[in-house]
Amino acid sequence: MKILWIDLNSSYAHSSLALPALHAQIANDPSIEWAIVSATINENVGTVVDEAYRHKPDIIAATTWLFNHEQLLHITSRLKVLLPKACLILGGPEFLGNNELFLRKYPFVDCVFRGEGEEVFPQWLTCWNQPELWNDIAGLCYLDTDKQYRDNGTARVLNFSRLIPPEKSCFFNWDKPFVQLETTRGCFNTCAFCVSGGEKPIRTLSIENIRQRLQTIHEHGIKNIRVLDRTFNYNTHRAKELLQLFLEYPDIHFHLEIHPALLSEELKEELKQLPQGLLHLEAGIQSLREPVLEQSHRMGKLSDALKGLKFLCSLPNMETHADLIAGLPLYHLYEIFEDVYTLAGYNAGEIQLESLKLLPGTEMRRRAEELGIRYSPFPPYEVLETNEISVGELQTARRLSRLLDAFYNTPAWHTLTRELILNDKDFLHNFLKYLIQVNLIDQPMSLEKRGLILYEYCKLAYPEYKIQASIAWIEAGMSLKKTPAEKVKTKHQIPPEKWEVIYGEYKSNLRLCFLPLDENTKCGYWFGFETEIQRTFPVFKAKTDI
């Protein structure tokens, strides 16, 4: 038996755990021959099909999710024409809902799996070419020989801790910039928009099990781990144990999801003590409006969430990102702008504004009509309109998201953008309007281009921030010959008798430049650049007040 896995990802940086997770359970079965074709959704379909066809497999398998769904169907439909006797099976988040319509619409797909496949996929392989026996395979959905829809429910791995870890598979990809480490299955929360909202029971790995897997990952030189644990701080004792374990690997950067409403005082003290850079936190907040969170069945009080988020964002030893979701029922556009303002006030490291997607299998998708949500029938199932936010307003929210990513979420322009937001509540509205007028909001912009735009906009609308825009430009390592550095003096600069050092250490071999606050005084900022190694960003900064 030969299995061909189509490993289709959205980009080079992303890699699905599905193949190594499944393969690890049956890697030692000599009757199975495995092959893999890896590609991204941007690659030519014909090229991928050609490579896959050469393997002449008995089974074609793939995992399907929002952003590879369409391209995967193009590839697999062609393969079934070329290999009609091959059995095509798909799994993944796209099949957590009712799968009958999909199977009738795409008859070239033989069956799909709903749920977790590590235990049931090996069972299916024992009868893959005997559809009359498929009725006993949990999670399998298919049309029988009489074209009747058969639905075997949802597959759940109950012995999660006994699974062979995906890192043991020869198909685990160690070449990506980060790896994913799944420490928990299931979620205590009940969010109506999330595929994990109803995923019970919660199953966890022991700390010793996680330690062994971390050791394997560390031995491969991995420096970034995304911990898949939606219940990280639900149990304070376990959260503390995990943090202590992470401290054993100080050269690894751990990316975690955390629920700010459930932060105990005990855990707060633990977080305060962690070394700089060990953690990167994603704080699920979604909205700062109580009715919105209640309608979304989000657990935890809003007041506790805001208090917890404010604490997390104040920690100097880690960066906390916060997310908002446009299109949630009862959430208005003006509230989204106000919530961005509030999060900027907390100094969130990033503000990620996404559009709601009504995913298969979620409560919110089942209740869409009742909740007044209109959404796209095709992936990624984005919300098009609700009773509270119009089509046009959702486009405004999408553009606001692009503004935040381009400026607030970009380290070089973060501080200035944040100050502009907090200085004027109309800044986001006005700057967004400006970017639309000059036809740039939907255009790709380089780091330099964004700095030029920000400087020109400050000159136009906020002249009191011109100096800060120039400073941001210089510290980002941009060219001193471009407009944002137009006031900078670069030739034959001699250090003053007295200055206030802001960072770095002055050395006589540094190349100095001076940014005056105005033409009539010697007040301003001094920047020192390394000359020997030709760094583009300054290593020294000082200020003169007289």
Residue 298: per-residue pLDDT: 85
Closest CA to 367 of 199, 198, 152: 198
- 8-state DSSP, 250: T
Residues of the chain with pLDDT under 50: none
Instruction: Please give the Cα distance from 184 to 228 (Å, whole number).
Output: 7
CA count, 13 A, side-chain hemisphere, 445: 21
Instruction: Please give the Cα distance from 373 to 389 (Å, whole number).
Output: 10
Instruction: Please give the Cα distance from 141 to 108 (Å, whole number).
Output: 14
In 41-86, DSSP assigns E strands to 59-63
Task: Specify the pTM.
Answer: 0.91
Residue type, 225: I
Instruction: Please give the Cα distance from 428 to 426 (Å, whole number).
Output: 6
Rounded to an integer, what is the distance from CA 245 to the centroid of its chain? 24
Closest CA to 20 of 260, 208, 216, 152: 216
DSSP string across 410-458 = SHHHHHHHHHHHHH-TTHHHHHHHHHHHTT-TTS---HHHHHHHHHHHH
Residue 250: per-residue pLDDT: 95
**Cis peptide bond N-terminal to 166, omega within 30:** no
> Nearest 5 degrees, angle CA 366-CA 370-CA 376?
60
User: What pLDDT digit, counting tens, does each position of 514-546 carry?
Assistant: 999 887 778 999 999 998 776 789 999 999 986
In 363-421, DSSP assigns E strands to 374-375, 383-385
Instruction: Please give the Cα distance from 104 to 98 (Å, whole number).
Output: 12
Instruction: Please give the Cα distance from 384 to 328 (Å, whole number).
Output: 11
Residue 198: per-residue pLDDT: 62
Only one residue has tokens 């309109």, namely: 385
CB 9 within 8 A of CB 16: yes
Could you tell me which residues come within 8 angstroms of residue 44 by beta carbon, excluding any fewer than 6 positions away? none
Residue 199: per-residue pLDDT: 65
Residue type, 367: R
